[in-house]
Amino acid sequence: MAVGLKPLEDIVELTIISSWIKPKPVSLGIFAPPEYGKTGVLLQFAGCKGVKIISDITSFGLSRFILPEISSKRVRCLIFLDLLKILNRSRKVANEVLTLLNVIVEEGVSSVYTFNIQFDVGIMEDRVRCSIILACPEDIIKERETRLKKFGFWSRILPFYIEYTTEDLLRAHEEIKEEKPTFGRKVLKVPDEEVEVKLPKREADKLDPIVFAFKDSIGSTTGFRLRWNLQQLAKANAWINDRDVVNEEDIRKVVSFTPFFFNPVKGDECTYRILRLLPAKSEEIVKELSGLYSRATIYRRLEKLKEAGVIVNTKKGWDLRIY
């Protein structure tokens, strides 16, 4: 496991698994500065069933070669290693690609007939839909944010902003000095076909505080898409743990990603590990993470999470804001 990148690895895994979970998959955007390990993490999933990794593409290539693979269910998750390559193409080409991706991640493609794109799934086939994971430098996304919002693309993906703590950054440097392999190959267990995982209302209700508190931060007017994405991630986590019904542990896992969804809140591995330990008192958290992070780092993260409204103080100590 790459130092400081466990939360990113975990959410990529859940996003891929969501491609098999009814009614629709999650799409994810990973935003961080260069050299943060985005590409390395994503390449770990090369060769996983249903995953297609793409370095660059045009609308013609997407319609001619990729859509048929999605239609046949051979591909369920598209991973774009660098969205910047697409955005840096001519405006016409980039717009066509973004427009097509919009449809793929939301309602699904049935037929397209333009000069560069000719595709029809046929009258008896389902609409072509799949999960999309893309990575891009954070500063580039900030520059192009207005344009992406005009396409509606921004609200269709779940943004994920990650950074390093000082401790994780130093540990990563030590591994480089020793020339230790940073990334391995992931082997995912995936369903043989689409599966249904039930979400009891009492568990869905626990997402209310997060959805209503943060929907505006990701440009969602209603919070509908944010809720759908969180629910699907919870279902994916249930399936990974051999359950067909979501329970509170699945909701807690998903809510632990909350800081990563919102800029400038952002998240790091220390924050993620803290949230996965809750409910717990401050000193219990310090004791558990003392081999990885300093007391000062942990207390700063706790204060930041409290200010952001992700955690609350209870009789049991700190806990997630899910009630």
Q: Which two tokens stand for residue 79?
A: 């991973």
| Boundary-marking domain end, from 247, 267, 287 | 267
Is residue 32 in a domain?
yes
Residue 291, Cβ density class (10 Å: 0-12 exposed, 13-18 middle, ≥19 buried): exposed
Is residue 254 in a domain?
no
Residues 274 and 183 reside in one and the same domain = no
CA dihedral 215, 218, 221, 223 (to 10 degrees): -40
How crowded is the C-beta side of 295, counted as CA atoms within 13 Å? 4
Is residue 164 in a domain?
yes
The pLDDT of residue 160 is above 70: yes
Question: Residue 282's domain spans which residues?
Answer: 270-323
| Boundary-marking domain end, from 251, 267, 283 | 267
Where does the pLDDT of residue 80 fall: very low under 50, low under 70, confident under 90, or very high at 90 and above?
very high
Residues 150 and 278 reside in one and the same domain = no
Sign of dihedral through CA atoms 224, 235, 200, 258? Answer: negative
Span 33-63, pLDDT tens digits: 889 999 999 999 999 999 999 988 887 888 7
Is residue 58 in a domain?
yes
Do the beta carbons of residue 13 and residue 5 sit within 8 Å? no
Instruction: Provide the domain count of the chain.
Output: 2
Q: Which two tokens stand for residue 41?
A: 């993490």
CATH number at residue 283: 1.10.10.10
Is residue 234 in a domain?
no
Q: Which two tokens stand for residue 321?
A: 């804001």
The rounded distance, in Å, linking the Cα atoms of 264 and 152 is 21
Q: Which two tokens stand for residue 235?
A: 């279902």
The pLDDT of residue 164 is above 50: yes
